[in-house]
Amino acid sequence: MTALAPPIDTDVTTPAESILVGATTSTGPGVGVRPEPLRLGGLTVDPAVVLAPMAGITNPAFRTLCREFGAGLYVCEMITTRALVERNEKTLQMVRATPEEKSAFSVQLYGVDPATVGRAVEMLVDEGVAGTRPAHIDLNFGCPVPKVTRKGGGAALPWRRRLFADIVRSAVRAAGDVPVTVKTRVGIDADHVTYLEAGRTAQDEGAAAITLHGRTADQLYSGTADWSHIARLVEAVDIPVLGNGDIWEADDALRMVAQTGCAGVVIGRGCLGRPWLFGDLATAFAGKPSRALPTLREVAAVMQRHATLLSEEQGELHGCTDFRKHVAWYLKGFSVGSDIRRALAMVSGLDELAGLLAGIPDQPYPTAVLGAPRGRTSTPRPVALPEGWLADRDDPRPPAGAELDVSGG
């Protein structure tokens, strides 16, 4: 089973086709370094590129858009296992595949109770609750946001090593022949580092691969990701290690592979407003120097395509409303008046969007923003944890009340 992009309709010029055909040459350090295809059980990911789950971002519309630009594995938004087990309506809507994902549907699960995580995996694998049996399941042990860590979840959970092992084991056993992977961070903070032990434990419990974001939870998205931890994890385990953190351009991915020996990369904030990054990654991993530098007119076509996909999924008003948060990312660095930016950030219809975009003069891609951070930034802050969480690393019990939220997501 191979995760590949669907063929582009040759009778219709899509935004992806237009941008990738017109890509310019922009080489950087590490060109020529190409990891082997990533093999996760019966699933082959070639090139070894994975879209990171992002709440409110990696819905079916965004996954479809990214897939049109390049091959890889595109993971849905993080799914709460308790909400899935309770068959929360919103969650059941989120955990569904697009037609193009039928052969490589990928789900990320979040949970703090081994029994609930196992039951959620069983529902996905045995009952087909999503309408499509997933080809891959990822477990989230990397989320640093307070509403997750204060329940002992996300990046806080690997500190409780027995609980971590029990969750991974439960998921792997329930998944059968579906590969289970783990995503984590370096640790809670510099005094509570967990990634090496978590990597070995995940391997021992049958995980097919592990992704490491090169920051601690208290760093959130501040500073610079430390890729040296990725290199250390590669040396410590035998399963594939995927690198995550500060991949803003395709050449960053090449540098990460060259510096760390990781088996592939996971792309998060770097693709916000730049889904053509997946095309750049495909060409970079193939050893080719071409990189996309789309003009504003080409970017506008991608924006219209994105809003159209969201509208088909959610209805025009809700789709365009959802699209608003993407506007600033797409237009970053372009010379666009504040009045137009405000109007685009309040758009409520596809024709309105098309009219506003048509009124902006075309211009070259702003190369000054290449390599610059995108998406959310933050300052470091102490991690919110359940009371007494750090006291006993071998306590296997989930934190009290952590599984009570069934609101979905």
241 — pLDDT class (breaks 50, 70, 90): very high
Bridge partner residues of 244 (DSSP): 213, 266
Question: From CA 368, how far away is CA 386, in angstroms rounded?
Answer: 43
Please state the domain extents for the chain.
28-291, 296-367
What CATH fold (topology level) applies to the domain 296-367?
Answer: 1.10.1200
CATH architecture of 28-291: Alpha-Beta Barrel (3.20)
Whether 76 is catalytic is: no
pLDDT at res. 18: 77
DSSP, residue by residue, 43-110: EEESS-EEEPP-TTTSSHHHHHHHHHH--SEEB---EEHHHHHTT-HHHHHHS---GGGTTS-EEEEE
Strands 290-291 and 73-74: unpaired
Give the residue from 166, 137, 140, 122 showing the smallest Cα distance to 40.
137
What is the number of residues in the chain? Answer: 409
Q: What separation, in Å, do the N-terminal and C-terminal C-alpha atoms of the chain show?
A: 28
Q: Is the peptide bond before 47 cis (omega within 30 degrees of 0)?
A: yes
**CB distance 258 to 265 below 8 Å:** no
pLDDT at res. 15: 86
pLDDT at res. 132: 78
Count H helices, E strands: the chain? 16, 16
Which entry of 76, 143, 262, 271 is annotated as an active-site residue? 143
Both structure tokens of 267: 């792309």
23 — pLDDT class (breaks 50, 70, 90): low
Give the residue from 225, 105, 309, 312 showing the smallest Cα distance to 326.
309
- The answer, yes or no, to whether residue 182 has pLDDT greater than 60, is yes
> Mapping DSSP to helix (H, G, I), strand (E, B) and coil, where does residue 187 land?
strand
48 — pLDDT class (breaks 50, 70, 90): very high
Residue with tokens 């549907």, as numbered in its chain: 105
pLDDT at res. 130: 66
- The answer, yes or no, to whether residue 256 has pLDDT greater than 80, is yes
25 — pLDDT class (breaks 50, 70, 90): low
Question: From CA 51, how far away is CA 224, in angstroms rounded?
Answer: 20
Question: From CA 55, how far away is CA 375, in angstroms rounded?
Answer: 12
> Mapping DSSP to helix (H, G, I), strand (E, B) and coil, where does residue 374 land?
coil
What's the pTM value of the predicted model, to 2 decimals? 0.92
- The answer, yes or no, to whether residue 258 has pLDDT greater than 50, is yes
Question: From CA 290, how far away is CA 276, in angstroms rounded?
Answer: 12
